[in-house]
Amino acid sequence: MQGEEAFGTAALFDAPSAPEEPPALGAVVAAGRAPVARVLLETPVPHLDRPFDYLVPAELDDAARAGVRVRVPFSGRRLTGYLLERVDHPEPGVRPVPLTGVVSPEVVLAPEVVGLARAVAARYAGTVADVVRAAVPPRVARVEKEEADEPVAAPARPAPGAWACDDGGGDFLDRLAQEPAGAPARAVVSVCPDGGAGWAARLAVAAATTLSAGRGAVIVVPDARDLELLCEALDELLPEGGYARLAADDGPTPRYRNFLALSRGTVRLAVGTRAAAFAPVRDLGLVAMWDDHDASHQEPRAPYHHAREVLLLRADAAGAHALFASPARSAEAQRLVTSGWAHEITTPRSLLRNAAPWVRASSDGYEAERDPLLHAARVPHLAWEVAKRALVDGPVLVQVARTGFLPALRCERCREPARCRHCAGPLALSRAQADPVCRWCGRYDRSFECQQCHGRVLRAASVGADRTAEELGRAFAGVPVVRSTGADGVRRVGAEPALVVATPGAEPIAAGGYAAVLLLDADAQLAPEGLRVGEDAVHRWFAAASLARSRADGGVVVLTGHPSLQGQGLVRWDPAGVAERELAERAQAGLPPAVRSAVLTGPAAATDSFAEDIVAAAPGVRAIGPTPGEEPGEHRWILFFDHAHGPRVTDLLRRRKGLGSLRKDPVVSVRVDDPRAL
C-alpha cells in the first residue's frame, strides 16, 4: 500500500466518519428535555460501530429511556437499535432525524452492561453490537406484559460447608459477607474431590453468602448438565424464585422472563451458561465460574469472547469479588495466581490425601513388570483387576476418548487411515458386521481398497464407546452396562454394581461415588497436535477421577497409556503443579496465556495486507505467516504480543477492520485470544 492507502498514516487510524444524515422531514416537535438520543445500531458492520444521534419526538419523550429498544431510519432502511443516552445537543455537523418508534419501554441494556460490552469489544477487536447480541436475549413481547414479582428478600448467611476445610476458605466467605470495603477477594480453587457435585454446593454457598450481604452475584457454568447440578444446590439454600436461570436450552420465553426479573431488580442472582456473564445484576458483589477451561465458555460467534475474560473485566469494573473453581486448573487461572490478581484456596494435603482416590498408572515400572502385554493391550491387566474387585460393591466408570463403535479405521497392511473414495473422508464402523461408512458424506464403502497399497482388509484405528461397552459386557457377564455420551448422556447412576462407559464430559454422577474409574485411551487423548492437547487431557482425567470414592472408602483410579507429565500430576493429585509447569513452558516459548494472540484468516491478498499493516504500526508484534488457510486461496497469520501492549494492538485491529469495511475490502476474520485457533 502506498501514499494515502498506507495504514501507518495518522489519517487512516482515525475512526471512519459518520455518513451524512439527511435533513429532518416535515415538522417534528422535539422533546422538551434532552431531545437528542444516542443510538447503538444492531448491525455487525465494523465501520458503523459507534452511536448515532437521533431526534426524540415529543410523543416518545416518556418511552425513550436509556436502555430501551428503538427503531430508526438509516440509509433508506429501518433498523433496530438501543438507546444509550439522551443529551441536549447532537454531535457537531449532524442534523438528527426523528426516531421511528420505541419497540418496548422495557429497559434491557443497563449502563453497566453497555460499559462491559464496550470493554469486551475493545479486548477482542470486535464490535459493540456483536457483544450486545450475546448479552441481550431476543424479545418475547407477551412476557413484558406479565406483572412483575416482588423483590426476593436477602437470605440468611448459610453454613460454610466444605469451605471450612480449606486453607483460606472461611476467610473468603467472610469477605463475601461484609459490606463493600477495601480490595475485593478474588480466589482460584481446585476443588477437593468428593465423588459427586460438591463443587455446586461450594458455589451455592458463596452465592448465598454474597446475597446475605445485600449484593448480587453471577455464576457461569459450561453446560446444561452443570447448570442442573448448580440449581439443585441453590434450591437447598435459597427460597423459591431466589435466582434466575439464563440458558438458551430453556427456550426463549423462560430465558427472557428470567432476564427481565434481573433487569427489574426482582432477583439478584443470575446462573447460566456463557451469556449469563452479561446478566444485568444490580449491585454486583460476586462473579463466579465453574471449570473455566471448558471450551463451552468460548462464544462461537464474533467477536469470539471467552466468558472468563468477560467476568474478569466485569469484576474489575464493578469492584466485585471473583471465584474461579474447577477440578483441575487452567493455565489462564494459574496466571491470575502468579500475577497476584487472585490468590489460591487449597485443601491441606493431610485432608486431600484421604479425600482423593488412589490413582494408579498402568505404565509405572512395577505394573510393567507384572504385565508383559501392557503396551499391546488397550485395557491392561491392572485395569481388569481393579474393575473386577470394584464391581463387588459399586459401579465402575470407564472413560473412553471417542463415541461410536469403531470411529476410525486403518488399512491392515500399510496402516494408512482408511479414506472414502468419493470425498476422502474418514471411514468408520457403526456396529459389528456393518459396512464401512464415511463420517463426512455418509456413503457406504462395501469394497474398500487402500489407495496406497491396494490392501482390502481394515483394522481399528480407535475404539469408541459402543465397542468398549460391548467388549466389557462380554468380559463381565451379568453386570449391567450403562452407556453415556454427549448425544445421549445419563445424569446419574445408582450405587449398585454396574459398568458405566462414558466419553469425556458425559460421565454420570454415581450415588456415593464410583468404586473405581478406568481412564482408557490416554495415549489417544495426548496424540493430536495443538497448544491445548495436554491441558485438555489432564482436565478430562481430573474431572472423571473426581467422581470416584475417596481413598479412605476404597476408591481407585487407573490411568492407562505411556508415562506423561500430565499423568504424573494426576497420580500426585496436583492440579496446581501441572498448571504451573504448563504456564512456565508457555512463557518460555512465548505462547498464550503468557502472551496474547490474534489469528487472521481470509483471502490471501487482503489478509496479507491486513497483517502487514498491523506489524508496521506495532513493532512489538511477532508475526507468523502467511500459511495456507483451510479453504483454497486463503491465508492465515498468527500475531503474538505482550499483555502490556494488548490494548494498543487490539485497538489497531479494530480500526483496521473498520477501514477494510469502509473500503469494502474482502472480509478478514480476526480472532483474538482464541485458544482453539492455535
Q: Is the pLDDT of residue 167 over 60?
A: yes
| DSSP per-residue string spanning 290-307 | E-TT-GGGB-SSTT--BH
Is the CB of residue 13 less than 8 Å from the CB of residue 618?
no
As a whole-number percent, the residues of the chain with pLDDT over 90 amount to 69
What pLDDT was estimated at residue 377? 53
- Side chain identity at 503, as an amino acid letter? T
Q: Is the pLDDT of residue 6 over 60?
A: no
What pLDDT was estimated at residue 11? 39
> Which residues, in sequence order, are CB contacts of 219 under 8 Å at separation 6+?
203, 207, 230, 269, 270, 271, 272, 276, 288, 289, 290
- Side chain identity at 185, as an amino acid letter? A
Q: How confident is the model at residue 21 (pLDDT cuts 50, 70, 90)?
A: very low
Q: What is the mean pLDDT of residues 542-561?
A: 94
**Nearest of 265, 317, 326, 262 to residue 297 by alpha carbon:** 326
Query: Comparing 161-351 with 596-677, is the CATH topology the same?
Result: no
Q: Is the pLDDT of residue 25 over 60?
A: no
Choice among 189-193, 369-373, 463-467 with the minimum mean pLDDT = 369-373
The SS3 of residue 576 is: helix
pLDDT tens sequence across 36-89: 999 999 999 999 999 999 999 999 999 999 999 999 999 889 999 999 999 999
| Class for the domain spanning 596-677 | alpha beta
What pLDDT was estimated at residue 409? 82
Q: Rounded to whole angstroms, how far apart are CA atoms 486 and 502?
A: 9
How many other C-beta atoms are found inside a 10 Å radius of the C-beta of residue 431?
A: 11
What pLDDT was estimated at residue 370? 56
Choice among 15-29, 30-44, 344-358, 644-658 with the minimum mean pLDDT = 15-29
Q: Is the pLDDT of residue 22 over 50?
A: no
Q: Is the pLDDT of residue 439 over 90?
A: no
> Which residues, in sequence order, are CB contacts of 641 under 8 Å at separation 6+?
595, 596, 597, 598, 618, 620, 621, 622, 649
The SS3 of residue 581 is: helix
**Nearest of 367, 364, 402 to residue 386 by alpha carbon:** 367
Q: Is the pLDDT of residue 624 over 90?
A: yes
Q: Is the pLDDT of residue 375 over 60?
A: no
**Nearest of 302, 307, 506, 530 to residue 397 by alpha carbon:** 506
> Which sequence spans correspond to the domains of the chain?
26-105, 161-351, 356-586, 596-677
How many other C-beta atoms are found inside a 10 Å radius of the C-beta of residue 145?
A: 6
Q: How confident is the model at residue 403 (pLDDT cuts 50, 70, 90)?
A: confident
Is the CB of residue 256 less than 8 Å from the CB of residue 282?
no
What pLDDT was estimated at residue 15? 40
Q: What is the mean pLDDT of residues 587-604?
A: 96
What pLDDT was estimated at residue 623? 96
What pLDDT was estimated at residue 10? 39
What pLDDT was estimated at residue 265? 94
Exposure on the CB side of residue 206, measured as CA atoms within 13 A: 33
The superfamily in CATH containing domain 161-351 is: P-loop containing nucleotide triphosphate hydrolases (3.40.50.300)
Q: How confident is the model at residue 94 (pLDDT cuts 50, 70, 90)?
A: confident
pLDDT tens sequence across 377-401: 567 888 889 999 999 999 999 998 8
The chain-wide mean pLDDT, for the chain, equals 89
Return the percent helix, strand and coil in the chain, to nearest 5: 35, 20, 45
Q: How confident is the model at residue 9 (pLDDT cuts 50, 70, 90)?
A: very low
- Lay out the sheet containing 622-628: strands in order across: 622-628, 634-641, 596-603, 669-672
Q: Rounded to whole angstroms, how far apart are CA atoms 28 and 20?
A: 20
pLDDT tens sequence across 449-467: 888 898 888 877 767 777 7
How many other C-beta atoms are found inside a 10 Å radius of the C-beta of residue 119?
A: 19
Q: Which residues pair with 509 in a beta bridge?
A: 492
Choice among 11-20, 142-151, 290-299, 319-328 with the minimum mean pLDDT = 11-20
Q: What is the mean pLDDT of residues 76-103?
A: 92
What pLDDT was estimated at residue 178? 86
